[in-house]
Chains A and B, each alone.
Chain A
């Protein structure tokens, strides 16, 4: 809502307060003033001039040489390029020395050999937004009506001294979608008297009811319909002040009839519609639901197909308007219109809202109907428009309004009480203060001691219950004046749950291990939605979930893996010459097994990562190392050791992963994720370098880690170590051998470490050597060499037999 302060000043005296202070007071009382706009600046050198003569420029086809009377001794010779300049016009003249918006300085100049002493201006050149300028002046200079005085300054004539406040209205404050509503608000805030417009019409004797019958069929969607008949209108421009108030409010002036309906819409918050009476071809107005498939051509010349959810105004046969949304093209007021049927109605907000949503036709009118207009202003607004038509269109208003009226105009009653108010606000207001607040708001009430029975005016349809009144009192009292307190009963203990604490520990561990936390979008593109699924997710065959109206294809499907978007972040960095990256992310994936989703999907927290580039960078010592499988695996091993979870890794072939460098991660024989190098083809497609990823079911990890660590005594007896290197076939997995050693060596073998892996010239082709370090320990006694020797011998024999291996000497 754009509020012209010059206009507002007609209803409430705001001359003593600066626009900035007023904006601040309004904002603090609950309507946010988003912007303060000064329409123009004071400029004594811009005045009204009379074009005495206008000749063609001798040296330029498109220029004219004008002599302009500006009410001083001499006329000004001005060269003008506007196509519409002509002798006998009253125009805007910027004298030499004037400064126009955009810091344009007007000087004496010579144009193609002819002296020019100033400029004849368009409205644009005075800083007025093109879209509000009447169309006849859009491409040329502005021409005043004859009754302005030559030499007069133009600021007040063109409303350039106005200031506009832009309100950011919350949906509850429909009352402030009208200048009168704003006036009530400002009068309450400033504690000022209110000057309402005096509305009266000199109706002629002829009666409107002889011209029209009003029938409402869909009474649920229209509780009031009033038809006024206005004859012999003189279509012409509306008065300047009205045009400029409309422009300040962001509406382009058209002609007096249209401008008056718009003016009353802004003044009363009540949309009106003027039909060309002679184009109705009927004396009937019938308000009904549209018939399925029925058509109407609206004012914007678009043919629209209707459903029976739409409410239409008809001439008894066919639709002539889409109720509350837009008029029909065939009954539009035009230059030749002489008789008007003026509609003032109350349409059901929900019905208008539905039609607007369907057609996308949101207008100043529909916005107000959608939020509910004041039932006590509907008819009055029609009368106000008739008054203005009488005055500014020389029209005759017929007696009476033909109406259908089942409108509920009763006021809501809310009881408040001083003690209650104070108890809920924490304040110490007196009953006198509350009474004063109600007076400022102009709410009627009856008071009995501390109890007030408040009759809420219908313009404030947002106030229905005690809490609404509580806010109303509090905001006029001032939120600033409420004390700062702490709650009376405030004794609960707050703490993170075990799960929340563990999540923080996970983060701390990974960050300590050198990973940066990333956050990516949960909505991804279709292609990415099914990529890099962890085996246990793939196993349940989930259906990716699409949102109904995505903003872009890039963000359409809910992710089933964090990795695709993480890789996008890696690519984003690479494009900016950042090649060494180690990201992790904790985020939800969304799993639904339904082909057509009906239930909330399962949401599962995943812990994923992507690493690429240099891991160790210490070139002057020759110690530079790229991220590889084992860097990532080392981090995960550290993590699981930290969490004390038993984990196994098994080679696996997964889509989008390098077939030979990928492992599925198992916990208690259940897959909980994977790690490995991304497939070179994916790498190429996404423009990446060699990149490794991991993905874990964080839920499983968090669930598994429920026990608290218990103290295990530090062994008192020394350990004994044995080393052995086995020659194995290349395809034997070192981990399998390790598992076997652990199995056979149990319980004396406490740990098995792989400390060397070799293949090459000293070994037969197809063979490799893997060296194991075995740590023996008995918690209860010092081990004897014999015991260890027996176990060690057994292990070697079993490994040799199982894997067709032999010991490297």
Chain B
């Protein structure tokens, strides 16, 4: 029996060595180690052996079984490794081919600017207010100290619908409506972004439809220096800390004193160039202290309350900030233009 076992061992080791596939290896395992395998069948003959020989043969058989088992496992590991290598080799891809594209959308540049300005003023405690685009003559003009036949009405040629209704020429009516709603009883601190309309021929710098953002702060003890402080904060955040601001006197019927704000020209650093029409400065917004008649009409006592207001053209701010040279781009939705500013 001893010889028989040794022969089995030798034979098995030799066969395992020659095997190159998993299936044959499994067959071999069954052949030698299975319930009906060679070793088992040898051990079945143990009954014929002398009592003292049994343990010796038994031990030998176990050793051989273990040796064959580990040879098989070794071979199996080797085959698995080879299979894995082959699979990985087959799975190589060209990583330089393009990926599967996703659809990338994005906001309009004006929306982007509006949200930036909104967030800035919300951070300073302002609310965001809206109002109708088809306005009454009263809210668009009269409530803002622009009575019928006031010469300043020429400044804004309007799209009238009836004698009483028009497309709003500025977002200021939202200020008047908000003050009216607050009934002269509490401070007003708001900005109002929105679409406005003027009778202009569309060209690179004019558009019959454009956007404004206006701000209003009415409270006790509001000073003109406060307007200066707030506008300075706004300009530096919006256009960069290195820009200077300049306020100059101006005229609006709804403010007195009135101001116009310029920022230093980025292109020429105030030396004068074509962008700033050789002045070194670029006009960005208008404002002033709310006219006492406007406060009065809205139900605020100008002896108790003072305030400031300011307004700017959103399109113009976007043009200045991003160097857009044609306002019509904002309404043509040219994909080549729109996609440039998605990450703005």
Interface residues, chain A, with chain B CB atoms under 8 Å away: 27-30, 32, 34-36, 170-173, 349-350, 353-354, 370-371, 423-427, 465, 467-468, 470-471, 474-475, 479-480, 482-497, 500, 504, 507, 510-523, 545-551, 555, 558, 566, 569, 572-573, 576, 578, 581-584, 587-588, 590, 597-598, 600-601, 603, 615-618, 620-621, 623
Q: Does B117 interact with chain A (Cβ within 8 Å)? A: no
Whether the Cβ atoms of B257 and A489 lie closer than 8 Å is: no
Whether the Cβ atoms of A470 and B257 lie closer than 8 Å is: yes
Q: Cα distance A480–B103 when bound, in Å? A: 50
Q: Does B306 interact with chain A (Cβ within 8 Å)? A: yes
Q: Cα distance A504–B149 when bound, in Å? A: 41
Residues 262-283 of B contacting A (Cβ, < 8 Å): 277-279
Whether the Cβ atoms of B332 and A572 lie closer than 8 Å is: yes
Q: Cα distance A473–B107 when bound, in Å? A: 46
Partner of B151, one of A353, A519, A549: A353
With a cutoff of 8 Å between Cβ atoms, the chain B residues found around residue A603 in the complex are: 132-134
Can you list 28 residue pairs at the A/B interface with Cβ under 8 Å? A29-B248, A30-B249, A30-B250, A170-B251, A171-B154, A172-B152, A480-B246, A482-B247, A484-B229, A486-B226, A487-B221, A487-B229, A494-B121, A494-B126, A494-B189, A495-B127, A511-B105, A511-B106, A514-B103, A519-B110, A523-B197, A545-B161, A548-B162, A550-B159, A573-B333, A573-B334, A588-B133, A601-B134
Q: Does B232 interact with chain A (Cβ within 8 Å)? A: yes
With a cutoff of 8 Å between Cβ atoms, the chain B residues found around residue A583 in the complex are: 333
Digitize B142-155: 1 where CB-to-A-CB distance is under 8 Å, 0 elsewhere: 00000001011011
With a cutoff of 8 Å between Cβ atoms, the chain B residues found around residue A500 in the complex are: 128
Q: Does B230 interact with chain A (Cβ within 8 Å)? A: yes
Q: How far is the CB of A622 from chain B (nearest CB, A)?
A: 12
Q: Does B45 interact with chain A (Cβ within 8 Å)? A: no
- What are the 9 A-B residue pairs with the smallest beta carbon separation, nearest first? A514-B103, A426-B225, A30-B249, A471-B257, A170-B251, A426-B223, A511-B105, A569-B333, A475-B249
**Residue picked from A371, A486, A495, A581, most chain B C-beta under 10 Å:** A486
Whether the Cβ atoms of B209 and A521 lie closer than 8 Å is: yes
Contact A490 to B135, CB < 8 A, known contacts A471-B257, A547-B161: no
With a cutoff of 8 Å between Cβ atoms, the chain A residues found around residue B149 in the complex are: 350, 353-354
Chain B: interface size category: 35 or more
Digitize B244-258: 1 where CB-to-A-CB distance is under 8 Å, 0 elsewhere: 001111110000111
With a cutoff of 8 Å between Cβ atoms, the chain B residues found around residue A35 in the complex are: 277
With a cutoff of 8 Å between Cβ atoms, the chain A residues found around residue B164 in the complex are: 598
Q: Cα distance A578–B335 when bound, in Å? A: 7
Q: Does B199 interact with chain A (Cβ within 8 Å)? A: yes
Q: Cα distance A513–B103 when bound, in Å? A: 7
Q: How far is the CB of A48 from chain B (nearest CB, A)?
A: 34
Residues 293-331 of B contacting A (Cβ, < 8 Å): 306, 330-331
Whether the Cβ atoms of B225 and A427 lie closer than 8 Å is: yes
Q: How far is the CB of B275 from chain A (nearest CB, A)?
A: 15
Q: Does B342 interact with chain A (Cβ within 8 Å)? A: yes
Whether the Cβ atoms of B151 and A371 lie closer than 8 Å is: yes
Whether the Cβ atoms of A484 and B228 lie closer than 8 Å is: yes
Q: Cα distance A354–B153 when bound, in Å? A: 13
Whether the Cβ atoms of B228 and A485 lie closer than 8 Å is: yes
Q: How far is the CB of A500 from chain B (nearest CB, A)?
A: 6
Whether the Cβ atoms of B105 and A510 lie closer than 8 Å is: yes
With a cutoff of 8 Å between Cβ atoms, the chain B residues found around residue A569 in the complex are: 332-333
Binds A, one of B2-10, B50-58, B71-79, B94-102: B94-102
Q: Cα distance A616–B220 when bound, in Å? A: 59
Q: Does B179 interact with chain A (Cβ within 8 Å)? A: no
Whether the Cβ atoms of B224 and A520 lie closer than 8 Å is: no
Q: Given contacts A471-B257, A482-B228, A514-B102, list 12 more A-B pairs with CB under 8 A.
A: A32-B260, A172-B251, A489-B221, A522-B197, A551-B199, A555-B209, A569-B333, A578-B335, A598-B162, A600-B135, A601-B134, A618-B100
Whether the Cβ atoms of B250 and A170 lie closer than 8 Å is: yes
Whether the Cβ atoms of B333 and A479 lie closer than 8 Å is: no
With a cutoff of 8 Å between Cβ atoms, the chain B residues found around residue A34 in the complex are: 277
Q: What residue in chain B is nearest A546 (Cβ atoms)?
A: B161
Digitize B113-128: 1 where CB-to-A-CB distance is under 8 Å, 0 elsewhere: 0010010011111111
Whether the Cβ atoms of B108 and A547 lie closer than 8 Å is: no
Q: Does B238 interact with chain A (Cβ within 8 Å)? A: no
Q: How far is the CB of B129 from chain A (nearest CB, A)?
A: 9
Q: Cα distance A581–B333 when bound, in Å? A: 10
With a cutoff of 8 Å between Cβ atoms, the chain B residues found around residue A598 in the complex are: 162, 164
Contact A548 to B160, CB < 8 A, known contacts A353-B149, A489-B219: yes
Q: Cα distance A549–B166 when bound, in Å? A: 11
With a cutoff of 8 Å between Cβ atoms, the chain B residues found around residue A467 in the complex are: 256-257, 289, 291-292
Instruction: Give the dominant DSSP class at B's interface.
Output: mixed
Whether the Cβ atoms of A479 and B249 lie closer than 8 Å is: yes
With a cutoff of 8 Å between Cβ atoms, the chain B residues found around residue A488 in the complex are: 221
Whether the Cβ atoms of A425 and B224 lie closer than 8 Å is: yes
Partner of B217, one of A487, A549, A620: A487
Q: Cα distance A349–B260 when bound, in Å? A: 27
With a cutoff of 8 Å between Cβ atoms, the chain A residues found around residue B330 in the complex are: 519
With a cutoff of 8 Å between Cβ atoms, the chain B residues found around residue A170 in the complex are: 250-251
Q: How far is the CB of A505 from chain B (nearest CB, A)?
A: 12
Whether the Cβ atoms of A494 and B292 lie closer than 8 Å is: no
Q: Does B201 interact with chain A (Cβ within 8 Å)? A: yes
Q: Cα distance A265–B262 when bound, in Å? A: 33
Q: Does B35 interact with chain A (Cβ within 8 Å)? A: no
Whether the Cβ atoms of A547 and B159 lie closer than 8 Å is: yes
Contact A470 to B256, CB < 8 A, known contacts A572-B333, A621-B100: yes
Q: How far is the CB of A421 from chain B (nearest CB, A)?
A: 10
With a cutoff of 8 Å between Cβ atoms, the chain A residues found around residue B97 in the complex are: 620
Q: Cα distance A474–B333 when bound, in Å? A: 45
With a cutoff of 8 Å between Cβ atoms, the chain B residues found around residue A545 in the complex are: 134, 161
Q: Cα distance A492–B121 when bound, in Å? A: 12
Q: Does B208 interact with chain A (Cβ within 8 Å)? A: yes
Q: Does B212 interact with chain A (Cβ within 8 Å)? A: no
Whether the Cβ atoms of A600 and B134 lie closer than 8 Å is: yes
Q: How far is the CB of B54 from chain A (nearest CB, A)?
A: 55
Q: Cα distance A678–B274 when bound, in Å? A: 47
Whether the Cβ atoms of A474 and B221 lie closer than 8 Å is: no
Q: How far is the CB of B138 from chain A (nearest CB, A)?
A: 11
With a cutoff of 8 Å between Cβ atoms, the chain A residues found around residue B12 in the complex are: none
Q: Does B42 interact with chain A (Cβ within 8 Å)? A: no
With a cutoff of 8 Å between Cβ atoms, the chain B residues found around residue A587 in the complex are: 195
Contact A492 to B107, CB < 8 A, known contacts A523-B197, A623-B100: no
Whether the Cβ atoms of B208 and A555 lie closer than 8 Å is: yes
Residues 180-228 of B contacting A (Cβ, < 8 Å): 187, 189, 195, 197, 199-202, 208-209, 217, 219-226, 228
Partner of A471, one of B154, B249, B336: B249
With a cutoff of 8 Å between Cβ atoms, the chain A residues found around residue B123 in the complex are: 494
With a cutoff of 8 Å between Cβ atoms, the chain B residues found around residue A465 in the complex are: 256, 292
Q: Cα distance A173–B124 when bound, in Å? A: 35
Q: Does B339 interact with chain A (Cβ within 8 Å)? A: yes
With a cutoff of 8 Å between Cβ atoms, the chain B residues found around residue A515 in the complex are: 103, 105
Whether the Cβ atoms of A597 and B165 lie closer than 8 Å is: yes
Q: Does B176 interact with chain A (Cβ within 8 Å)? A: no
Whether the Cβ atoms of B108 and A492 lie closer than 8 Å is: no
Whether the Cβ atoms of A425 and B223 lie closer than 8 Å is: yes
Whether the Cβ atoms of A171 and B152 lie closer than 8 Å is: yes
Q: Cα distance A572–B200 when bound, in Å? A: 22
With a cutoff of 8 Å between Cβ atoms, the chain A residues found around residue B279 in the complex are: 27
Q: Cα distance A171–B97 when bound, in Å? A: 65
Q: Does B88 interact with chain A (Cβ within 8 Å)? A: no
Q: What residue in chain B is nearest A621 (Cβ atoms)?
A: B100
